[in-house]
A and B are shown apart, each in its own frame.
Chain A
Amino acid sequence: MSVDKRRADLKDAVGQVSDGSTVLIGGFGDAGFPFGLLEGLEATQATELTLVANNAGQSSAAVLRMIQDHRIRKVICTYPRRDEPVLARAVAEQTIELEVVPQGTLAERIRAAGAGIPAFFLATAAGTALGDGKETRDFDGRQHILETALNADLALIKAHRADPWGNLTYHGAARNYNPVMATAAAVAVAEVDEVVELGSLDPETVVTPGIFIDRLIELDSSELRPPLRSPRAAA
C-alpha cells in the first residue's frame, strides 16, 4: 500500500472488480460523471453488477453497453431518464431491477454508509408508495420511515484536481454526489482533470481528504461526454 494513489492506466485505476459488486457512480446529469472510469469498468468484464447513480448512468455509452450485455443486475437511482430507451427496454423486459429512491434519501444513505451509521429515520417518502413496507416511527408528531445505509464495493467518482495523496477539489456543480460517494465504498477511485504536486493544493479548499481515496487517474474524458444542451430560450 502506498500513499501515492496515482495510477497510469485505467486498468490499474479501476482494478479487480468482482461479479455481483455494488458500484457507486458520481455525477448529476453529465456534470461530475466519471466517463473515463466507466469505460474502465466495462473493460473488467465484471457482471451481475448493481449500479448506484443519480440518473442511472444513462449518459455513458459504456453503461448502456453493459446494460445491453446483461452485465447489470440492478440500478438504484433517483431520476431514470425516459428519453433514453436502453434502460427502459431492460426494465420493461425485466432483465434489470430498478429501484427509484428520493434524491436526498439516496445521498443520505450513501453518506450514512461512509459515516458508520447503519440506519436512520427521515420524513421523506413517509405515507407514499416509496415508503411502503418500511418501519415507521413518530417523532414530534410526524411520521418518519427507517432507511438503511447504502454500502458499496466500489465508488467511481470525478473530481477536478488531486494531489498524489488523493486530496481532491471539485469544480462548480460537478461536486454533487462525488464527496459522499468517496466515503461509502470499500474502494474509491477518482478520475481527475489534473494531478498537481503534493503541497500545491490549498488545504483550506480540499473537499475530499485523501484518506477516502484508494486510487486516482488523470484523464481527459471530454470526448466521452455528450455536448451540453444550449441554454433555454428567454421567456
Chain B
Amino acid sequence: MSDRRTIIAQRVALDLESGAYVNLGIGIPTLVANYIADDRDIIFHTENGILGFVGLTPDDDQVDADLIDAGKQPVRLRSGGSFFDHGLSFAMIRGGHIDVAVLGAFQVSAAGALASWADDPDAMMNAVGGAMDLAVGAKQVFVAMTHTSAGRRKLVDQCSLPLTAPSGVSRVYTELGVFEPVGTGFRALSLTPGVSEATVIEETGARVFFDRMEAPVR
C-alpha cells in the first residue's frame, strides 16, 4: 500500500475544475499538483504570497530561494502569476476567494469537523500554520488523507484530537474512495475500483451510506 498517497492525490486531481483557485496543504495535498490533466488550468495559491506557480523538480536549474511554497519547497512562477503580502493572502482565504483548499488531516468527523494540527494534544510544539484559516475560509474544503493510520480509523463520529474547525469539510478523499460528511455519518460518493463496501464499513469509525454512489472512476 505504499502508493496510497498516489491514489488519493490522483483522485483529488480529477475533481479540481479548470479555472479554480486552489490551495494545497503540506503532505498528500502537495502531490495533487503532479496529476492535473493538461486540459485543466488550475491556479495554485500558497499562503506565503504566490498565486500561479508550479513546483520545481530536481532537473530545474533556476532555483530562486525566495520562491517557495508553504512547505518551504522551491517553486517557479507561471506566466500570469503574482506576489502579495500575508495580509492580502489571508484576505483571499478568509474572504472566500479560494475555491478549494485541499488539506491533510488526522481525523474528520461525521459533522465535517476537521482535526489536522495537533496529533498529540499534550505536545507543546504543535504548529497550526494556515489550516484554521483555510478550513473556515475556502469555498470548499477537501481533505486528502489515508483512510486509517497504524490501524486507527480517521473517519469518525467525533474527533478525539484538537479541532482545526468544528465543521466545514466538504469531502474526504482516501485510498478507499470519496466520502461526504452528512452529520449522521459519511456518504460514500465513489469507491476506488476493487474496494468493497464491507472494507469501507470495517475501516470507518462512523456510519457509511452507499445510497448515492457515482459510477466508479476509471
**Residues on A facing B (Cβ under 8 Å):** 28-32, 78-82, 87-88, 91-92, 98, 100-105, 107-108, 110-111, 122-130, 170-180, 207, 225, 228-235
Contacts and interface: CB of A to CB of B under 8 A. Distances in A.
B83 A111 contact: no
Interface string B70-109: 0011100100000111110110011000000000000000
B137 interface: yes
A177 B93 CA distance: 15
Interface string B118-154: 1000001111111111001100000000000000000
Contact of B74 (A32, A130, A178, A231): A231
Contacts of B167: 127
Contacts of A228: 63, 65, 68, 74
Nearest to A174: B66
Interface of B: 6, 9, 31, 34-35, 46-50, 55-60, 63-68, 72-74, 77, 83-87, 89-90, 93-94, 118, 124-133, 136-137, 162-167
Contacts of A28: 48-49, 68, 86
B87 A108 contact: yes
Contact of B66 (A88, A108, A172, A232): A172
Contacts of A123: 94, 136-137
Contact of A102 (B55, B133, B163): B133
A222 to B, nearest CB: 9
B94 A78 contact: no
A56 to B, nearest CB: 9
B47 A103 contact: yes
